[in-house]
Amino acid sequence: MRSGLVQLGAWTAATGAAVALSWLGVHAVLVDTVFEQPVAVQLPSVASTKPAETTPPPASPHDPPPSAAAPKPTPTPDPDPTPGATAASRPTAAARRSTSPPSTVHSYPVLGGRVALDQRPTEARLVSAVPEPGWSMQVWHGEQWLRVDFSKDDRVSTVSVSWNGTEPAVQTYVIGN
């Protein structure tokens, strides 16, 4: 009986150590990852075959003031991206937005799924890839290209985008019946 309790204790300790080590490793990677705020994207209906284009509205210091009926938002402090920087030396939120390159989100409906890409003047980023029921999906990417495949049986639909310091070039094609 005592031997069984010793084995159970050793197994519990080893399992706890493995879980803790795994969590610390994943946590360390995720903490260093920079996430941008998600942007709501209006995608076209399934009946539409033309890619949709949406651009987030630019913030302008010349926007009209909100109406008197609308509640006034409470100001929130800007997070300090650089430790030790004073408020006077930090760029404002509007200045940070104006320095980022413009982007446009395009949606590509293909047989087996839909891909949304954030296309910028010299790069593209995957926003989402959603397979239709019964289809599987794979994503590959490199520094200057990405590819999304939707597959079912002997059919494969592909959305491929590449760039090399130029405007992204998107190709869609289907292999199989």
Q: Specify if 166 maps to a domain.
A: yes
| 126, 139 Cβ separation under 8 angstroms | yes
Q: Provide the pLDDT for residue 110.
A: 93
What pLDDT sits at residue 87?
Answer: 47
Identify which of 121, 176, 122, 120 has the alpha carbon closest to the alpha carbon of residue 149.
176
Domain membership flag for residue 33: no
Q: Please tell me the predicted confidence (pLDDT) of residue 129.
A: 93
In a domain, 133, yes or no: yes
pLDDT of residue 89: 47
Please state the domain count of the chain.
Answer: 1
What are the helix (H) ranges across the chain? 2-32, 93-99
Residue 105 located in a structural domain? yes
Query: How far is it, in rounded angstroms, from Cα 154 to Cα 152?
Result: 6
In a domain, 87, yes or no: no
SS (H, E, C) 106-153: EEEEECCEEEEEEEECCEEEEEEEEECCCCEEEEEECCCEEEEEEEEC
Q: Which residues make Cβ contacts (< 8 Å) with residue 168, sequence separation at least 6? A: 117, 119, 120, 123, 124, 161, 162
Q: Is 161 exposed, middle or buried (0-12, 13-18, 19+ CB in 10 A)?
A: buried
Q: Which residue has the tokens 């959603």?
A: 130
Distinct helix (H) and strand (E) counts, the chain: 2, 8
Identity of residue 126: L
Domain that holds residue 128: 95-177
All residue ranges of the chain with pLDDT < 50 are: 48-57, 59-60, 65-74, 76-90, 95-96, 98
Is residue 18 domain-resident? no
Residue 135 has what pLDDT?
Answer: 94
Residue 150 lies in a domain: yes
- pLDDT (0 to 100) of residue 176: 82
